[in-house]
Amino acid sequence: MSKKTLIFLGIIGLSIIFFLCVWLHSHSIEKDIAQCSQDILNKNGLSQLSVDTNNRGRDVLVAGAVDSKQLKEKALHILKDQCHMTGLKNQIKVIKSMPSKKAHIQILFNGNNELVSFTGTTAKETVESNFGFLLDSFKRAKKFNLSINSNQDIIPVDYNLYISALIPYFSQINAANIILDGQTIVLKGEVNSEQVKNTITDDLQNTLEGRATIINSLSISKRNKVGMQQALDANHCQQNLSKLLRESKVHFNSGSAQILVDSFDLLNHLARTTKACQKVNIEIIGHTDKSGNESNNIKLSKARATAVANYLFAKGVKGGKLTGKGVGSSQPIATNATQQGRMQNRRIEFIVHSLEE
């Protein structure tokens, strides 16, 4: 082998050794930088992130996922100018964590249908949508407890929708205890009959259209919830009902047959008196003022009379005892030329018919 060949092979060998040394040193540096960077992340509670320095020299690629922009910025900040790196490539993704806890609200009423307590924890979005207009629908007890907290880990549920659907039935449940647990509605308290219990469940399911699971734990009252009262003949029945309706009025939403909550107390007294009336039929008559079309007035007055009758049915009054009738503006008791007169003409009237010969 010639001298030139030996020299050439020697140069090649030395070159290989040189590049091998450089590679090993570079690999050692990359490994040290990677370990240093990972240790920094771990110490700062960011172990879900990983660093990569493979074939990058002193550059570092950091990847992984965090649940906020603030954590992403924190990770980049603590890595910069650390561990002798020269560059930092960011592949951190921000993925917001999904809430995992169920909302929970409890609504308690006393035996007088007064709201006693409205408490629980729900999602921030639900609180911000405001329960205020719903609370205004209830008559509150003197000692009323309102405590609704928000938590970002709570799964949002449209409790405004749930409670709006429940409002018409609070008056039919004695000492109601309503629990909203996630997407489940638990009903507790007493009602007058199995029919009322089943009607509440059916109506809620239809209104909410599968948005909630209804657990009906209502019990059937074994006593006369509206109280014991002496039996009344037709004359005394008429006198007592007329007296109640002179002292107060059944109020409805404007232009509709929806009974307002402030009328529930009067209707409960009417139910108590009606149940005490013996051997009678009672005609519930709806009246309007002269405003608007008379055909529409008759329909509206009939619908309002029927709404009152249905309320009394729900309170345990026997169905055969009541009938509803609408007469529109045909039987005024005051002038329709003034606002006060029109207010008097918009009314519900009870007419008692004796079944005794």
Q: At what angle do helices 194-208 and 159-170 cross, to 10 degrees?
A: 150
- Which domains are seen in the chain, by residue range? 37-96 (3.30.1340.30), 104-220 (3.40.1520.20), 234-354 (3.30.1330.60)
Q: What is the dihedral of CA 308, 309, 313, 316, to 10 degrees?
A: 80
Q: Which residues pair with 185 in a beta bridge?
A: 180, 214
Q: Indicate yes or no: pTM above 0.75.
A: no
Tokens read off for 210: 């599968």
CA distance 243 to 246: 5
CA distance 84 to 32: 10
pLDDT at 3: 61
> Please, which contacts does 333-339 make with residues 24 or more away whose CB atoms are closer than 8 Å?
336/289, 336/290, 336/291
pLDDT at 326: 95
Q: Which residues contact 154 (CB under 8 A, 6 or more apart)?
A: 99, 101, 102, 103, 121, 122, 123, 124, 126
pLDDT at 324: 92
Q: Which residues contact 87 (CB under 8 A, 6 or more apart)?
A: 58, 59, 60
pLDDT at 56: 54
The dihedral built from the CA positions of residue 299, 235, 278 and 316, taken in this order, carries a sign that is: positive
What pLDDT tens digit does each residue of the chain (357 aa) get? Answer: 566 565 655 566 555 554 544 443 444 556 666 777 778 778 887 777 777 766 555 577 777 787 778 888 887 887 776 666 666 777 788 776 667 788 888 988 887 778 888 888 887 655 545 566 566 767 777 888 888 887 777 777 777 788 878 877 887 888 889 999 988 999 999 887 787 888 888 888 888 888 889 999 998 876 544 444 578 889 999 999 999 999 899 999 888 899 988 888 899 889 989 988 988 999 999 999 998 899 999 999 999 999 999 999 888 888 778 999 999 999 999 999 999 999 999 999 999 999 875
pLDDT at 84: 60
pLDDT at 127: 53
Tally of CB atoms within 10 A around 357 = 3
Q: Are 232 and 273 contacting, i.e. CB atoms less than 8 angstroms apart?
A: yes
pLDDT at 20: 45
End-to-end CA distance of the chain: 145
Q: 3-state class of 81 per DSSP?
A: coil
pLDDT at 224: 45
pLDDT at 111: 78
Exposure of 13 by Cβ count < 10 A (0-12 exposed, 13-18 middle, 19+ buried)? exposed
CA distances from 16 to 4, 11, 19, 21, 106 (A): 19, 9, 5, 8, 78
Amino acid occupying residue 328: G
- Candidates 332, 278, 316, 337; CA nearest to 349 is 332
